[in-house]
Amino acid sequence: MTLKSIATIILFGTALTACNKSSTEAPPAASATPSASVPLSDEALDQAQIPVKEDFEAQAQTAITDDNLDDQVAQLQTEIENDK
């Protein structure tokens, strides 16, 4: 694969992950989520499960294959058109 293909796969994987929110997920409990006005300590931030770029790249590499690339791109295009 070319570098352009890999970059495209990573980009689409990241977008898929960001747009693919499950409506069946329960919202976090109020006690588990700190108030927006209360800053998190450094220790709390270290323990937080905050996704980073590498998490999305790893997921994209496993979710998007040469066989389903066209389907994934079509799905992203549909999502983008529906968001307009």
- Is the pTM higher than 0.85? The answer reads no
CB atoms within 10 A of CB 16: 18
Q: Where are the domains of the chain?
A: 1-17+51-84
SS3 55: helix
Helices 53-63 & 3-19 angle (0-180, nearest 10): 100
| 58/2 Cα distance (integer angstroms) | 18
Indicate the pLDDT class of residue 23, thresholds 50, 70 and 90.
very low
| Tens digit of each residue's pLDDT (9 = 90 or more) over 39-79 | 777 777 777 778 888 888 888 888 888 899 999 899 989 99
